[in-house]
Amino acid sequence: MLRQFKGYRMYSYILELRALLEQELALDAQRTGIFGHSMGGHGALVLALRNPELFRSVSAFAPIAAPSQCPWGKKAFTGYLGSDAASWQQYDASALMRGLQGQPVLFPKSILIDQGLADKFLPEQLYPDVFEAACRDAGQPLQLRRHAGYDHGYYFIASFMEEHVRFHAQNLRAA
């Protein structure tokens, strides 16, 4: 499946890490959340959408929300998955969400995304509006919070990290 970069398996690595943590620590497997930033934020969305039985809560900071439509995503997907754009859809959060139209809502308490409006990647790479539209069409609650003056970096994440932790704690208590 992975053509050029056979050693890159972040999707399966995260699932294997989750299983190892569940096995080694006293974790409640029914109360697991996931979040990430940028490419990792996209990964968190994809993992949660493809594995809702494993992740009960999901959030992201400035995720690459529609990688099959942006320059970075097209280059990465071609390198990792080949040139067949149809095969990319299973790794595109917006495409996955569009595929959920007419199905039960996966995250009834909402998905949380924070996006800085001064983020230099926003106009050409991130496309949170595409994910927002896909959520709306699928009936999936989404809190897409846009923050003036924030870019893609550390201070953006640090400014809102506590709110993401609280978001997950609230969702996981209800699980």
Q: Which of 37, 68, 110, 152 is catalytic?
A: 152
Q: How many CB atoms lie within 10 A of CB 30?
A: 10
Identify whether 38 is a catalytic site residue: yes
Q: Which of 92, 119, 164, 168 is catalytic?
A: 119
The pair phi, psi for residue 142, each rounded to 5°, is -140, 135
Under 8 Å between Cβ of 66 and 89: no
Crossing angle of helices 10-24/39-50, nearest 10°? 70
Sheet holding 142-147, edge to edge: 33-37, 57-61, 111-116, 142-147
Q: Which of 38, 57, 68, 110 is catalytic?
A: 38
Across the strands, what pairs with 133?
none
d(CA 40, CA 100): 22
Assigned token pair, 42:
């996209």
The pair phi, psi for residue 64, each rounded to 5°, is -75, 95
Residues involved in catalysis: 38, 119, 152
